[in-house]
A = this chain, B = another copy of it.
Amino acid sequence: MRATFMYGAGDVRVEQAPDPVLERPTDAVVRVVRACVCGSDLHPYHTMPASDEGTPMGHEFLGVVEELGSEVAGLKRGDLVVAPFAYADNTCAFCREGLHTSCPNGGFFASGVGGGQAEAVRVPQAQGTLVRLPVGEDSELLPSLLTLSDVYGTGHHAAKQARVGPGSTVTVIGDGAVGLLAVLSARRLGAERIILMGRHEVRTELGREFGATDVVPERGEEGVERVRELTGGDGTHAVLECVGYMSAYEMAVGTVRPGGVISRVGVPQYEEAPVGFSSLFGPNVTLTGGPAPVRAYIEELLPGVLDGTVEPGRVFDRTVGLDEVPEGYRAMDRREALKVLVRP
């Protein structure tokens, strides 16, 4: 089969690779019908050291079950399924608490197992991981359903961890796909006011359609001032940080209301950050978030996608074939594309 590998910063190649096969009785093999490129794929695209050995890429996909291990129940060949970016057994104590990303039998796609930017993938813990989709391979809903594998669930995680609910005021930092779906999620959970911090007009316009009540294009101290002006000086109950850079963390500290929550889902590109009396402690600000256990959210989010209440798939603004995946990375890196859909 063909699959995508990264050999270093800026070096993405689509190559022949061995067809995935069942390795354990809990595995499945899935033929990929739709995959995509993630904003977090751009971090190694900027920083990965050059190597002779390629790293498989892609952790978001939906597809058709082709083979099933002997211990996988509840699925059959031919089922159209979506995979969360972290596979998990869905039965352990952590999964029962909704924290599938910490499952001791779990892991991440494209990390010790193949990636989704490929013709097929081996899925460990298939019974706990894959969720059957009640539509056909030709459904127009596929882009929105694909967002259940990561970006929609991640935006929802940001809002949920920040305890967004009816009446909440929310700042969303970042106008990438996750930021826009954090807006959609905050609206879905009943937020009263949603301030989107972003400067890419096509994106912030989509953010308004998803539910943003205000857009703040300014960054840094100037952006913080604008949000404070909009909120009577206090900031917002929740700040959903969907970027991952220290500058975004600093904006989050500046825009959160005393007693509020900063919820991070952008993968932090730093280890140390201010958390002392003058940043988090004095105003009793809570810092939360992490890799989203999206498997925990699929049952809750799926109905709204199927009935068209929400259209998270609108974040895809370009579609490529598998051979064009390297061009998809370039387009996202140049911010010419918001999020690139892959049809292998």
CB within 8 Å of B: which residues of A?
94, 97-99, 101-102, 161, 258-259, 264, 267-268, 270-291, 293
Contacts and interface: CB of A to CB of B under 8 A. Distances in A.
Contact of A272 (B94, B101, B273): B273
Contacts of A284: 99, 101-102, 161, 288-291, 293
Given A259-B97, A283-B102, A287-B288, A271 B278 contact: yes
A65 to B, nearest CB: 29
Task: Report the copy number of this chain in the oligomer.
Answer: 2
A274 B271 contact: yes
Contact of A99 (B259, B275, B281): B259
A289 B288 CA distance: 12
29 contacts: A98-B259, A99-B284, A102-B259, A161-B284, A161-B286, A264-B281, A267-B281, A268-B275, A268-B276, A271-B274, A271-B276, A271-B277, A272-B273, A272-B275, A272-B276, A273-B276, A275-B287, A280-B287, A281-B289, A281-B291, A282-B290, A282-B291, A284-B288, A284-B289, A284-B290, A284-B293, A286-B288, A287-B287, A287-B288
Contacts of A270: 276
A268 B279 CA distance: 11
Contact of A290 (B264, B268, B281, B291): B281
Nearest to A279: B271
A166 to B, nearest CB: 15
A287 B273 CA distance: 12
A274 B272 contact: yes
Nearest to A102: B258
Nearest to A103: B258
Contacts of A264: 281
A282 B291 CA distance: 6
Contact of A286 (B101, B276, B287, B291): B287
Contacts of A289: 281, 284
A258 B161 contact: no
Choose among A98, A278, A281 the residue with the greatest number of B CB atoms under 10 Å from its CB.
Answer: A281
